[in-house]
Structure 1
Amino acid sequence: MTDSAPKAGPSKPRLGYIGLGNMGAPMATRLLDWPGGLAVCDARAEALEPFTSAGASGASTPADVAAQARIISVTVLDDAQVREVVGGPHGILSTAQPGTVVAIHSTISDTTAVELAGICRQRGVLLVDAPISGGAGGAAQGRLAVMIGGSDEAFEAVREPFGSWAELVVHAGDVGAGTRMKLARNLLHFVSFTATTEAARLAEAAGLDLRTLGKVVRHTDAITGGAGAIMLRDTTAPVSEDDPWFSILRHVRNLGEKDLALAIDLGDRLDLDLPLAHLALAGLGAGLGVENDREDRLAEPSPASTASTTREHA
C-alpha cells in the first residue's frame, strides 16, 4: 500500500480538485470537510472564492495542487484539457510526488486514459479514469456513480474520498475500463433519448398530451428500473432453456414484441414512420438471448398477426 492510501484518523491524505464547473464544484464542495484538507484550482479566480472562504487552499496551477495533494481529481472539458492538466508545463506531473493518485472524471477517450496512465507510471504516479454518471443533480445530492479504471492499489486509495460525493463507487477494471463502462452507459442513455423522441412523435400524432406521457414514463421507470431492469446477467450469450432467466426474458420478449407491433400498427394508421420501433422489434429477442425458435413461432401468434387481429376485433 502506498502513502496515497487513506489512513485512519488525522493522517488521511490531502486532496486536490482541479476544475470547478457545473459538476466539479458540487463534488469538491463535499470534500471541504475531508480531514486531510483540500486544495482547489480553476482557470476562473471567482470559482475559487467559495472554497477558499470555506477553508480550502487555492492553487493557481495544477502543479501547485500536486505540490500539496496526494489524491487529485480532475474535471475539465475534454482530452486536450486533460492532457494539459496532467502533462503540460504547469501540469500535475511537474511537481507530483511518487505515489500520488490522479483521477480523471472527465469523459475522455479510453485510449487517452491508457496513454496518460503510462506516462504517469514512469513518474511513480498512479492515474485512474473515473468518469461519473448522475448529472449535476446527482452531484449536488452526493448521489453520483463513479466507474473507476485502475489498479487495485489506486482503487483502494480513492474509494473512501470518492464516497464523499458518490453513492456508488465501482471498480470497473484496469485503466480505460472506467471510460469504456461510461461510454456503454451513455450509449444506452442517448439511444433511449432518441427512442423517446420517436415515442413523443407517435403520441403527438395520436393527439396525446406529451407532458402527461412524460409523467407516466418517469413514474413507471422509477418502479420498474427502466432499461437497467434487464441488466442483471453477466453475459449477453443466448440463454439456455434450463436457465432460470429463460422464462423471465422470454416473457419480456413476448410482451415487447406484442407492444412494439401494436405501436408500429398505430404509427402505420397515423402515416408515421417509426424506424427505431422496427429495429427494436427485429432485434429484441436476439438481444435478450431468447430469439424465437421454431416451437415458439408455431405456438405463439406473430407480432404482426397480433396487431392485425387486435385491429380487426377492436
Structure 2
Amino acid sequence: MSEANRGARGVVPPQRPGMSEANRDGVGFIGLGQMGEPMARHLTGRGLVVFDARADAVAPLVEAGARAARSVAEVAAHCALVSIMVRDDDQVREVAEEAIAAARPGTVLAIHSTIRAKTAEDLAEKARRYDIEVVDAPVSGGFMGASAGSLAVMVGGTPEAFERCREPFGDWADLVLHMGPVGAGTRTKLARNLLHFVSFTAAAEAQRLAEASGVSLRKLGRIVRHTDAITGGAGAIMLRPTTAPLEPDDDLYDILRHTRDLGEKDLSLALELAGELGVDAPFARLALERFGAGLGLAEDTDG
C-alpha cells in the first residue's frame, strides 16, 4: 500500500454485511495461530472482529460469536483496539502498516509478537502522524496461559494507551504491566526469554548428569516441575531493583548470602559428580564462577 493511500484518512474499506457502525468500538484481533486464537476467544464479548489469512482459523471464532473481516484494513477501520499476533518483524510491519492506513485517529494497535524493539518504535513513530497509538505488548505463559486466560503481558507505550488496553488485555491475562515507553515491552520479553531458553540448555546439562548417574529423567523432570512451582524457580531471586553489589545493611543481604553458600556448595558437588562420570558441564562451571557476583555479593563477602 502506497504512502499516498496511507495518508487518505477518510477512506474506509467497504463494509461487509453485518459490520455496522455500532461495531466501530469493538476489539480486533489479527493472527489466529496457536497463541492468537485462544487469546482472541476470551474477547468474544467485546464486539470482536477477527482476521487471518486462513479461513479455517477464523471459523471457530465466528462460531464463538466474533465477526469475520475480509482484510486487515477492515479490522482496523472498525475497531478502537486492534491486537496483532503474527510470526515475525516482517509480518508485523506488513500488517501494522496496512492497519495504520485504515484505522481512525485514536485507534490503539497492540503488537503481541516477539520482535525487535526498534520495529515497534518505528511503527509507533509512523502511526503517531495519524494520531494512532502503537503499543508493544508481548506475552508470556505459552499456549496453556493463553487458553486459561492467565498470561502475563508486558506493555510498552504511552500511559494513555496503556490505560485503554488494560481492561481488554485483562480478559486473557492475569498480569498486565506497563513497562515504559514503546519498545520497553519487547525489551522485557527478550530478557525474560533469555532466562527461559538459557535454562533449557542448563536443563539439558542436568539431564546428561542424571542419565550418566543412572537416574530416571522422567522422574527428575517431575521433581523439577513440582519444586519450581513451589519456590518460583529462578524468579525467586529476582527481587532487587538493580544488579549493583548489595550493601551489608540491605534486607536481602543475609538471605542471598545464604543462597550463595548453598548454591556454591551444591554446584561444587554436582561438578565433582560430573568429573567422576566424565560428563562435561560447562554451564555448571560458569554458574559456580559467577554465582555470588550474580546475586550481588562480592567474592570476599563473608559477613
TM exceeding 0.5: yes
Is 1:13–2:20 an aligned residue pair?
Answer: no
SS in 1 for 2:45: coil
Separation (CA, whole Å) in 1 of partners of 2:23 and 2:238: 40
User: What's the counterpart of residue 188 of structure 1?
Assistant: 195
How far has the Cα of 1:77 moved from its partner?
A: 0.4
Structure 2 matches for 1:16-165, cutoff 5 A?
Answer: 16-34=28-46, 37-87=47-97, 91-165=98-172
2:187 and 2:167 mapped to 1: Cα distance? Answer: 23
Which of 271, 294, 297 is the matching residue for 1:287?
294
Q: Which amino acid aligns with 2:82?
A: I
* Corresponding residue SS for 1:33: helix
The answer to whether structure 1 residue 230 and structure 2 residue 242 are counterparts is no
- Structure-2 residue corresponding to 1:209: 216
CA–CA distance in 1 between the matches of 2:64 and 2:74?
19
Q: 1 CA distance for matches of 2:99 and 2:24?
A: 20
| Counterpart residue number, 1:261 | 268
Q: C-alpha distance in 1, partners of 2:31/2:24?
A: 22
Structure 1: gaps (5+ residues): 1-9, 300-314
Equivalent position amino acid for 2:94 in 1: E
Q: Tell me how far apart the structure 2 counterparts of residues 69 and 49 of structure 1 sit (CA, whole Å).
A: 19
Query: Equivalent residue of 1:233, what SS?
Result: coil
Q: Which amino acid aligns with 2:200?
A: F
Question: Contact between 2:23 and 2:78, CA under 8 Å: does it hold in 1?
Answer: no
Q: Which runs of 4+ in 1 moved over 3 A?
A: 10-13
CA distance in 1, matches of 2:247, 2:24: 50
Residues 244-255 of structure 1: pairs in structure 2 closer than 5 A? 244-255=251-262
Query: Are residues 255 and 12 of structure 1, via their aligned partners in 2, closer, same or farther at CA, if it must alter by over 3 Å?
Result: farther
Q: Which residue of 2 aligns with 1:306?
A: none
Q: How many residues align?
A: 282
Query: Is this contact kept in 1: 2:24–2:77, CA < 8 A?
Result: no
CA contact (8 A) 2:158 2:182 kept: yes
The DSSP-based 3-state class of the residue aligned with 2:104 is coil
Q: Deviations over 1:234-271 (max 9, x none)?
A: 11110011111110100000000000000000000011
CA distance in 2, matches of 1:267, 1:225: 26
Contact 2:24 2:80 survives alignment (8 Å): no
- Give the deviation of 1:292 after TM superposition: 2.4
Secondary structure at the counterpart of residue 236 of structure 1? coil
Pairwise CA distance, 1:283? 0.2
Q: Which residue of the partner structure matches residue 220 of structure 1?
A: 227
Question: C-alpha distance in 2, partners of 1:53/1:218?
Answer: 36
Gaps of 5+ in 2: 1-21
Instruction: Write the deviation string for residues 127-185 of structure 1: whole angstroms up to 9, x where unpaired.
Output: 00000000001100001000000000000000000000001000011000000000000
2:92 & 2:23 partners in 1: Cα distance? 29
Q: Distance in 1 between matches of 2:51 and 2:125?
A: 24
- After superposition, give the CA deviation of every residue in 1:99-140 in whole Å (9 maximum; x if it has no partner): 000000000000101011000111110000000000001100
RMSD: 1.4
Amino acid at match of 1:19: G
Q: Secondary structure at the match of 1:240?
A: coil
Q: Matched residues in 2 for 1:279 and 1:226: separation? A: 19
When the two structures are superposed, what TM-score results if normalisation uses the length of structure 2?
A: 0.91
